Amino acid sequence: VGHRSWFGVGEGVLVLTFLPFLCLAAGFHQHFSTQEKTPQICVVGSGPAGFYTAQHLLKGRSLLCPQPTKLSSPALSGEGEGPWVPAPLSIPPTHHTQARVDIYEKQLVPFGLVRFGVAPDHPEVKNVINTFTQTAHSDRCAFWGNVEVGRDVTVPELQEAYHAVVLSYGAEDHQALDIPGEELPGVFSARAFVGWYNGLPENQELAPDLSCDTAVILGQGNVALDVARILLTPPEHLERTDITKAALGVLRQSQVKTVWIVGRRGPLQVAFTIKELREMIQLPGTRPILDPEDFLGLQDRIKEIPRPRKRLTELLLQTATEKPRVEEAAHLASASRAWGLRFFRSPLQVLPSPDGRRVAGIRLAVTRLEAVGEAIRAVPTGDMEDLPCGLVLSSIGYKSRPIDPSVPFDLKLGVIPNMEGRVVDVPGLYCSGWVKTGPTGVIGTTMNDSFLTGQMLLQDLKAGLLPSGPRPGSAAIQALLSSRGVQPVSFSDWEKLDAKEVARGQASGKPREKLVDPQEMLQLLGH
């Protein structure tokens, strides 16, 4: 039976994979011989994709077949309405009762974007860490932090030591604007800005200057709204979150009063979800700025669109066009800060200050929508406008990087070429998560995708397609790392750092005060 995939492109994207042969096999169950050698499996990356892959290999979960259901898992930055994922059907779970899984992570701490990407004021989204911790506590799972694959150890070396290697290292880069002035001080990627306030060590030197009145965010997804919300939230509302101490100090001094969130297309194409929009509309001390003209004619068109998008558009339309109630009007009139959505605008150039030392504005091309086949794209009209600002944050997408010269990589798509998670032309090598699909979907999407990759690996193992005979696993890699002066960090080491963060946070009423200096972390562990 054939394999079909549907790939969405653009906003609110999710990838659905239809595997008819799995759906038909209602009575299918894999039995692995207890005489089989212990499979040694390595996972690179300890974010959601890595941990969900490990979880499926160790414990198994119901296989997933497409059946529309509202997403129950939270989005990366919030509980979204709109994304849909395949619902689990009652197909018996599959896993290997003796497989050993080693998870390698370049950071000293685990959990990837759950720790470094989810907004500090969305603590409920981080509860998935409890599930990942249970997986890490398995006696057949080991976490090895402070190990950068591609630098400290190569993928071929991992392939020599393990029966299978799964690459789940995510999308750790950002899409460049590729416009003049992008290199000016005061221009940052939203990814780096999020990493800065969330304690990602490599972004702690960012030092954004928030002494300006106006900030511009390019892109209209959930990350863009996260960044806008953090910029405009009264600092006292962030005091009880796990935002870093340094970031909170800078935000206390912020002079930013207006944030423009700019998109190439229109209200029907925004990528953020309704939860994030509601949070912005209800943000204390702020008022929204929406141009009613951007919504002309939408009232009739929204009748035909799917319900989640319809509800989102109705809320936008209501906010833009309806007269507020008396008490709401008083609240808006007293607001000292504002945020606005600018539609049909595409960045052309970041404008420098007179001395050329920093950003002073951004030049935007006015666009219109044009249908190209089934796609709708923004094309320039020839008109331009300049928007003064002192801070530009680019939020037009994340992208993956190649990890090792031995691993195929599609630079145009930013993914490892694969078939259902099997890396093309490299037997025994697999991928899951964003490095497999591109940076699309939500945590629930990544969970399903990772389970499917794990399932492909287990099928190959059962079919005898992976190397036979024993493999040394972590013992060989630890010897290599030791010879190269690399000191891995274990999960129990992480739990010591975790306890230290929680203790430091308690002193100021926070859930934790994140450690952001790798050297301090190593010293605390006695390394």
Number of alpha carbons in the 13 Å side-chain half-sphere of residue 483: 7
Burial letters 491-522, b for 16+ CB under 10 A, else e: bebbeebbebbeeebeeeebebbbbbebeebb
Rg (CA), the chain: 24
CA-nearest of 304, 314, 357 to 183 is 357
Question: Which residues pair with residue 430 across a beta bridge?
Answer: 166, 422
Number of neighbouring beta carbons within 10 Å of residue 302: 18
The amino acid occupying position 42 is C
Give the C-alpha separation, 392 to 405, whole Å: 34
Percent helix, percent strand, percent coil in the chain, to nearest 5:
35, 25, 45
Stated as kind and residue range, the H or E segment containing 363 is strand 359-372
Query: Which residues belong to the annotated binding site?
Result: 49, 105, 113, 149, 220-223, 264-265, 276, 434, 441-443
Measured in whole angstroms, how far is the alpha carbon of residue 265 from the centre of its chain?
A: 22
Q: Which residues contact 307 (CB under 8 A, 6 or more apart)?
A: none
Give the C-alpha separation, 127 to 185, whole Å: 36
> In which residue are the tokens 């398995």 written?
138
Stated as kind and residue range, the H or E segment containing 244 is none
